[in-house]
Chains A and B, each alone.
Chain A
């Protein structure tokens, strides 16, 4: 009972904060008094409702989700492989590190422009998602490897544990928190950069393409509505991953 009321209280607080922000939005809308700059809440909700009843909306979402997942998947595969290798081999790390640093410092728009030249429009966001998330995964996996307690490895060797046993029981659990943190960061960033890439590359089905046309027609409520869609999708991705991370902690 106690727990229930505590949970309830937490929810009430969250709800209250949400409502407060909506009120601030509404107030801003009233004060600015120009729907082009700040649309009303109602008009955004209406735009959102118009979207979700259209079958095309779901095709667009599916296409964008596919691109984000593809970009993330590539960054995970390369990030983990390279991260493990670089974590174990200092020379390889020194070789890869400058390029990762350069990628991190380069404005994403530069990559988008060059990718527009290199790839088909639908593949540009995948490439950008991969390129932006790879350094995060890589950096985290390297730190994870370096964080492994060498004393535990020493113990494992004295007790003549097999390589596979050491990897499964010492390496992987040590890397996991770093990996999880990296993936959560990458999920958020992946959505942002791949939608940005879509805005410029105009694939036929893409959230970004629709953001672009909303801007072209000065349809601010639609712009807001699509943005909210991206935020919600990004949240859903993060929650699914957080759930997975929690489940696998329980079973291991």
Chain B
């Protein structure tokens, strides 16, 4: 079942962030929400994930959807180790062996196995963000929601994380929504890029990227046309 966003209204005081907003999202594709900061992308994502209640309107999706959410900030518990932070979202699981293997597997996807017993304040900002990505992986939500997960990370790390996310996506096929205002991030991973403007937020354009993920890495020139287009928008 696809996700449909129907007639959503959400205001903060007098600021109408979402005004009669509608969008239909195919569950099998990686959707990227692209646009200037402050246009309402995060609000939209919060409404989808149920963090925010819209003033009116509906989000139509199957009941009991579980969200693996990567926030802009790491949101780790400072009094827990890396391992414990990741295991936190699996605390209701009875099978300890499963939890352990799940934590290990997710940490190795973000290459942090050697730091499993560290506390967040002993890690760099980029490493902490990787822990929060590992937490999202371990949870294996039906939805993978990412709100500028690579902010402040350097290019090389960003690419390896995007590869990790793509690998995870291939394995589990979650519905994936990805907020960014970085053109290269968007082009590296998305199937559909929605260009937003606002507030109130509106869709300027939807771009369907028709280059396979494998080719994007080896033949980046194939993305050139898209890149020009996106740069023009900003």
- Which A residues have a C-beta under 8 Å from some C-beta of B? 151-152, 154-155, 157-162, 165, 169-170, 173, 252
Can you name the residue of chain B whose Cβ is closest to the Cβ of A152?
B75
CA A165 – CA B79 in complex, angstroms?
14
Q: Mark B34-55, 1 if CB is under 8 A from A, else 0.
A: 0000000000000001110000
Contacts of B80 in A (CB 8 A): 169
A69 to chain B, nearest CB (A): 29
Taking a contact as CB atoms under 8 Å apart, the answer to whether B91 and A165 are in contact is yes
CA A157 – CA B50 in complex, angstroms?
9
Select the stretch in B11-19, B23-31, B64-72, B192-200 that faces chain A: B64-72
Given the known A-B contacts A161-B89, A169-B88, are A155 and B75 also in contact in the complex, defined by CB atoms under 8 Å? yes
Taking a contact as CB atoms under 8 Å apart, the answer to whether B88 and A161 are in contact is yes
Contacts of A170 in B (CB 8 A): 77
B92 located at the interface, meaning its Cβ lies under 8 Å from any Cβ of chain A in the complex: yes
Across chains A and B, which 10 residue pairs bring their CB atoms closest together, nearest first? A155-B75, A159-B89, A158-B69, A173-B79, A165-B91, A158-B67, A151-B75, A158-B49, A154-B51, A152-B75
A231 to chain B, nearest CB (A): 34
Known: A152-B77, A159-B67, A159-B89. 16 other contacts (CB 8 A): A151-B71, A151-B73, A152-B75, A154-B51, A155-B71, A158-B51, A159-B69, A159-B135, A161-B89, A161-B92, A162-B92, A165-B88, A169-B80, A169-B88, A170-B77, A173-B79
CA A165 – CA B93 in complex, angstroms?
12
B139 located at the interface, meaning its Cβ lies under 8 Å from any Cβ of chain A in the complex: yes
20 contacts between A and B (CB under 8 A): A151-B73, A152-B75, A152-B77, A157-B51, A158-B49, A158-B50, A158-B67, A158-B69, A159-B67, A159-B135, A159-B139, A160-B66, A161-B89, A161-B91, A169-B77, A169-B80, A169-B88, A173-B77, A173-B79, A252-B79
- Which B residues have a C-beta under 8 Å from some C-beta of A? 49-51, 66-67, 69, 71, 73, 75, 77, 79-80, 88-89, 91-92, 135, 139
A84 to chain B, nearest CB (A): 19
B12 to chain A, nearest CB (A): 16
CA A155 – CA B73 in complex, angstroms?
10
User: Chain A's interface: helix, strand, loop or mixed, by majority?
Assistant: helix
Can you name the residue of chain B whose Cβ is closest to the Cβ of A172?
B79
Number of A-B contacts (CB under 8 A): 39
Can you name the residue of chain B whose Cβ is closest to the Cβ of A160?
B66
A248 to chain B, nearest CB (A): 11
Can you name the residue of chain A whose Cβ is closest to the Cβ of B135?
A159
CA A161 – CA B87 in complex, angstroms?
11
Can you name the residue of chain B whose Cβ is closest to the Cβ of A176?
B79
CA A157 – CA B88 in complex, angstroms?
12
A111 to chain B, nearest CB (A): 38
Contacts of B89 in A (CB 8 A): 159, 161
Can you name the residue of chain A whose Cβ is closest to the Cβ of B92?
A162
CA A152 – CA B77 in complex, angstroms?
7
A249 to chain B, nearest CB (A): 9
Can you name the residue of chain B whose Cβ is closest to the Cβ of A168?
B91
A176 to chain B, nearest CB (A): 9
Contacts of A159 in B (CB 8 A): 67, 69, 88-89, 135, 139
Contacts of B88 in A (CB 8 A): 159, 161, 165, 169
CA A160 – CA B89 in complex, angstroms?
8
Q: Which of B49, B73, B88, B92 has the most CB of A within 10 A?
A: B88
Contacts of A157 in B (CB 8 A): 51
Taking a contact as CB atoms under 8 Å apart, the answer to whether A155 and B69 are in contact is yes
Can you name the residue of chain A whose Cβ is closest to the Cβ of B138?
A159
A9 to chain B, nearest CB (A): 30
Contacts of B71 in A (CB 8 A): 151, 155
Contacts of A160 in B (CB 8 A): 66
CA A170 – CA B77 in complex, angstroms?
7
Can you name the residue of chain B whose Cβ is closest to the Cβ of A154?
B51
CA A173 – CA B80 in complex, angstroms?
10
Can you name the residue of chain A whose Cβ is closest to the Cβ of B79?
A173
B103 to chain A, nearest CB (A): 14
CA A157 – CA B80 in complex, angstroms?
18
Q: Which of A155, A158, A160 has the most CB of B within 10 A?
A: A158
Contacts of B75 in A (CB 8 A): 151-152, 154-155
Contacts of A155 in B (CB 8 A): 69, 71, 75
CA A79 – CA B26 in complex, angstroms?
53
A164 to chain B, nearest CB (A): 10
Can you name the residue of chain B whose Cβ is closest to the Cβ of A165?
B91
CA A160 – CA B80 in complex, angstroms?
18
Can you name the residue of chain A whose Cβ is closest to the Cβ of B72?
A151
